[in-house]
Amino acid sequence: MVYQVGAAAGPNRPIMKDKVILIILSYLLGIFGIDRMYLGCWVSGFFKLITLGGLGIWYLIDLLMIMVNAFNYSQSPAICSGYVWNKGTMEIAHYIATIILILFVIKIIASFVLWMNSAGKTEERGHRRRHNRENYAPYTTLEQGETDYNLKHTIGNPNKSVNHAKTSPDE
């Protein structure tokens, strides 16, 4: 039995679909349900569109199913039904699935490294803030016998001691 790409479907003639196109659509636009719409599943594609790929979960599950299907050279439909695969593109789809899988692993590793790097910088900044707060009190109160003049000249200079004598600049 020979099927033509894009041939009209009938009771005995399923539609032939290309795995390469499906992988690319699923990876780039799958969150909007375009992959399911390409396969003819308009209703589930529409629901995937309005839920943004089930908040990404449905998108990842569909992408995984399509990638495994392409990686294993499977003849069965990846998602939905009512179509057959164009056998001429199955090997190319396998290689594209492998490349996308490698890129996905690199992206996860890079995200983890960047996250760990930013977490260390955040902890370092927090340590500096705590250290500064311990050395310099943001609010200083007047003690008994202290004048505003003495207070103004000691803030910002922790090495300068406060003169507790009742003196003023006019004396």
Q: How confident is the model at residue 72 (pLDDT cuts 50, 70, 90)?
A: confident
Lookup result for tokens 């003023």 = 168
Q: What is the mean pLDDT of residues 135-156?
A: 54
Q: What is the mean pLDDT of residues 73-80?
A: 82
Asked if the structure places residue 47 within a domain, the reply is yes
Asked if the structure places residue 63 within a domain, the reply is yes
Asked if the structure places residue 57 within a domain, the reply is yes
Q: Taking 90 as the threshold, does the pLDDT of residue 158 lie above it?
A: no
Q: Taking 50 as the threshold, does the pLDDT of residue 2 lie above it?
A: no
Asked if the structure places residue 8 within a domain, the reply is no
- Pick the more confident residue, 61 or 4: 61
Asked if the structure places residue 64 within a domain, the reply is yes
Distance CA 17, CA 69 (A): 14
Asked if the structure places residue 170 within a domain, the reply is no
Q: How confident is the model at residue 89 (pLDDT cuts 50, 70, 90)?
A: confident
Asked if the structure places residue 136 within a domain, the reply is no
As a dihedral over the C-alpha atoms of residue 156, residue 160, residue 162, residue 168, rounded to 10 degrees, the angle is -90
Distance CA 112, CA 120 (A): 12
Asked if the structure places residue 34 within a domain, the reply is yes
With beta carbons less than 8 A apart as the criterion, state whether 97 and 71 touch: yes
Distance CA 102, CA 94 (A): 12
Overall domain count for the chain: 1
Rounded (5°) CA angle 36-32-21:
50
Q: Is the pTM of this model over 0.75?
A: no
Cα 86 to its chain centre, rounded Å, is 33
Q: In terms of residue numbers, what domain contains 32?
A: 15-104
